[in-house]
Amino acid sequence: MAENASFREEAEEGSNNSRKPFLHTGSWYRMGSRQGSLMDKLANSSAQVLRDSSVSVVLCTLIAALGPIQFGFTCGYSSPTQAEIISDLGLSLSEFSFFGSLSNVGAMVGAIASGQIAEYVGRKGSLMIAAIPNIIGWLAISFAKDTSFLYMGRLLEGFGVGVISYVVPVYIAEIAPQNRRGGLGSVNQLSVTIGIMLAYLFGLFLHWRALAVLGILPCTLLIPGLFFIPESPRWLAKMGLMDDFETSLQVLRGFDTDISVEVNEIKRSVATTTRRTTIRFADLKRRQYWLPLTIGIGLLILQQLSGINGILFYASNIFQAAGLSSSNVATVSLGAIQVVATGVTTWLLDKAGRRLLLIISTSAITLSLLVVAVAFYLKGVVSEDSRFYLILSVLSLVGLVAFVISFSLGLGAIPWIIMSEILPVNIKGLAGSVATLANWLTSWVITMTANLLLDWSSGGTFTLYAAVSALTVLFVVKLVPETKGRTLEEIQRSFR
pLDDT for the residue 139: 95
Please tell me the least confidently modeled range out of 275-289, 381-395, 397-411: 275-289
Chain segment 66-81, per-residue pLDDT in tens: 999 999 999 888 878 8
pLDDT for the residue 18: 47
Range among 33-37, 226-230, 385-389, 427-431 with highest mean pLDDT value: 226-230
In a domain, residue 12? The reply is: no
Chain segment 227-255, per-residue pLDDT in tens: 888 998 988 888 888 888 888 888 888 87
pLDDT for the residue 298: 93
Domain range for 424 is 56-235+269-275+283-493
- Say if CB 99 and CB 85 are below 8 A apart: yes
Residue 2 has pLDDT above 50, yes or no: no
CATH number of residue 350's parent domain: 1.20.1250.20
pLDDT for the residue 335: 81
Res. 320 pLDDT band, cuts 50 70 90: low
pLDDT for the residue 155: 94
pLDDT for the residue 452: 80
If we measure between CA atoms, which residue out of 114, 123, 126 comes closest to residue 174? 123
pLDDT for the residue 248: 87
pLDDT for the residue 362: 95
Longest dimension (CA), the chain: 84
pLDDT for the residue 323: 61
- Say if CB 268 and CB 7 are below 8 A apart: yes
In a domain, residue 247? The reply is: no
- Say if CB 306 and CB 472 are below 8 A apart: yes
| Residue 103 vs residue 10, higher pLDDT | 103
pLDDT for the residue 313: 63
Residue 38 has pLDDT above 80, yes or no: no
- Average pLDDT of the residues in 120-124: 90
In a domain, residue 114? The reply is: yes
pLDDT for the residue 16: 43
- Say if CB 362 and CB 412 are below 8 A apart: no
| Residue 455 vs residue 61, higher pLDDT | 61
- Average pLDDT of the residues in 206-224: 93
What's the whole-model pTM score?
0.81
In a domain, residue 107? The reply is: yes
Chain segment 300-312, per-residue pLDDT in tens: 999 999 988 777 6
pLDDT for the residue 242: 83
**Whole-number mean pLDDT of the chain?**
81
When divided into structural domains, the chain yields a total of 1
pLDDT for the residue 150: 93
Res. 212 pLDDT band, cuts 50 70 90: very high
pLDDT for the residue 12: 45
Chain segment 392-438, per-residue pLDDT in tens: 878 888 888 899 899 988 998 899 889 888 887 777 777 888 888 99
If we measure between CA atoms, which residue out of 194, 228, 193, 215 comes closest to residue 133? 215
In a domain, residue 22? The reply is: no
Chain segment 325-377, per-residue pLDDT in tens: 566 677 788 788 889 988 888 888 888 888 999 999 999 999 999 998 998 88
Please tell me the least confidently modeled range out of 102-106, 268-272, 315-319, 441-445: 315-319
Residue 271 has pLDDT above 90, yes or no: no
- Average pLDDT of the residues in 207-211: 93
pLDDT for the residue 493: 79
Chain segment 438-487, per-residue pLDDT in tens: 998 898 888 778 778 877 888 888 999 999 999 999 999 999 888 887 87
In a domain, residue 37? The reply is: no
Res. 385 pLDDT band, cuts 50 70 90: confident
d(CA 455, CA 473): 28
- Say if CB 111 and CB 166 are below 8 A apart: yes
Residue 41 has pLDDT above 80, yes or no: no
Contacts for 154 with CB less than 8 Å, ≥ 6 apart: 99, 100, 102, 103, 106, 137, 141
- Say if CB 122 and CB 21 are below 8 A apart: yes
In a domain, residue 206? The reply is: yes
In a domain, residue 373? The reply is: yes
pLDDT for the residue 124: 92
